[in-house]
Amino acid sequence: MSNTIETIKEQINSNDILLYMKGNPRAPQCGFSSQAVQALMACGERFAFVNILDNPDIRAELPKFANWPTFPQLWIKGELVGGCDIIVEMAGNGELQTLINAAVGTTEE
């Protein structure tokens, strides 16, 4: 079980922008993951993802580790940003773009 937590920590620490989701960005397996992907893609930066449907151990352990019960989960620079509602809200008010630009080191003109 601790190996799963180590895997999660490794994934979070080695990816500046990471989305735990159902499915993959080209074929999301739930509406919430689809909305999160669309919001992230609109920011124009590459992001890593983990399909929790292919990783039942991560699906079981991540909510406990993150203290966040649902998916998708967006992590930026090792910090949990939140789930679908938060991602969509931040995309709508420009906060997501700012956060992503900061994560990848670009500035918005």
Q: Is 46 annotated as a binding residue?
A: no
Q: Is 26 annotated as a binding residue?
A: no
Q: Is 30 annotated as a binding residue?
A: yes
* Cβ–Cβ under 8 Å, residues 76 and 46: no
Dist. CA 8–CA 14, nearest whole Å: 10
What SS3 state is found at 7? helix
Pairing state between β 17-21 and 48-51: parallel
Q: Is 22 annotated as a binding residue?
A: yes
Q: Is 77 annotated as a binding residue?
A: no
Q: Is 16 annotated as a binding residue?
A: no
Feature table: binding site: 22, 30, 59, 71, 84-85
Binding residues for glutathione: 22, 59, 71, 84-85
List, as residue ranges, the binding site for [2Fe-2S] cluster: 30
